[in-house]
Amino acid sequence: MAESELERREAKKKKLVEGGEESSLEGGGDGGGEEKAWMNPMVTLGPDILTRTMKFLDARSLARSAVVSDDWYQVATSDNMWSAKCVELWKGKAHIPRVSMLRGASKLETYSLSVKDGMRNRIMKEDLCDHVWEFRFQETAPEYWLNLDPSWMDSGPPMNRYFHPDGSQTADPMDVVWGGHESQFSIVTSYVGKGEIREHYVRINRWPPMTVTRKEDWSWELSNHLYRYNSIPDANKKGGTGPHFPVW
């Protein structure tokens, strides 16, 4: 900031203070309005410095600051401010939700949609079909199957599985566990009361159902006592992954 600008603001503050004292002595009030203006960081610091300062706030504090005044709202909800918050939020995440890529959405809306989707425990067909899944047998599985699992035998990388929009599931060529059999998957969700989920699982053919778990990095795990599936990170996938509309 230029020195002349600093001098101008210092003179303005001095005038406000002197004006407040003078009006108080003359019985014309305590100069509350002017003093409040002087105490407002938007007035004393200016929008540029206030913006730089507010960038150090965490997302929750930044959102709360938007209700202070109209001026603060303009700064605290700007795309410039929330673009950086989105980058921070997505760092280290396995998947970036497709709903966060909605056209025309502000960066604040993008951040909010991302957080809500990251808390979602209800898996959708898009989640299954958008990701490649790592397949492994659990330690409690019969020894025969463990001996066929390359990740257990240290004979190669984990096996992969693929879910398709038509409800089918496939594996990589030469997968010794797969065996070329036909597989169909289904997502089962039951509710109780006012939309509260009572039961939610994924099932392949007539095999044991798999419990759905959402990880802190927004990845998914499907598991039962025999085997488990883990979604492979694909945060760089263009357009994001998952349902096209918000699902809670």
**pLDDT tens digits along 120-177:** 999 999 999 999 999 999 999 999 999 999 999 988 889 999 999 999 999 999 898 9
Residue 75's CB is within 10 A of a number of other CB atoms, namely 22
d(CA 154, CA 233): 22
Q: What percent of the chain has pLDDT over 70?
A: 81
What is the predicted pLDDT for the residue at 107?
95
Phi then psi dihedrals of residue 80, to 5 deg = -60, -40
d(CA 230, CA 222): 7
Evaluate if residue 36 carries a pLDDT over 60: no
Evaluate if residue 21 carries a pLDDT over 70: no
Beta bridge partners of 199: 190
Element (H, E) at 130: helix 125-130
d(CA 63, CA 78): 11
What is the predicted pLDDT for the residue at 89?
97
Strand, coil or helix: what is 72?
helix
Total number of residues shown for the chain: 248
**pLDDT tens digits along 181-211:** 899 999 999 998 887 889 999 999 999 999 9
Evaluate if residue 14 carries a pLDDT over 90: no
For residues 57 and 65, is the Cβ–Cβ distance under 8 A?
A: yes
Q: Find the distance separating the first CA and the last CA of the chain, reported in whole Å.
A: 47
Q: What percent of the chain has pLDDT over 90?
A: 61
The confidence band for 23, taking pLDDT boundaries of 50, 70 and 90, is very low
What is the predicted pLDDT for the residue at 24?
36
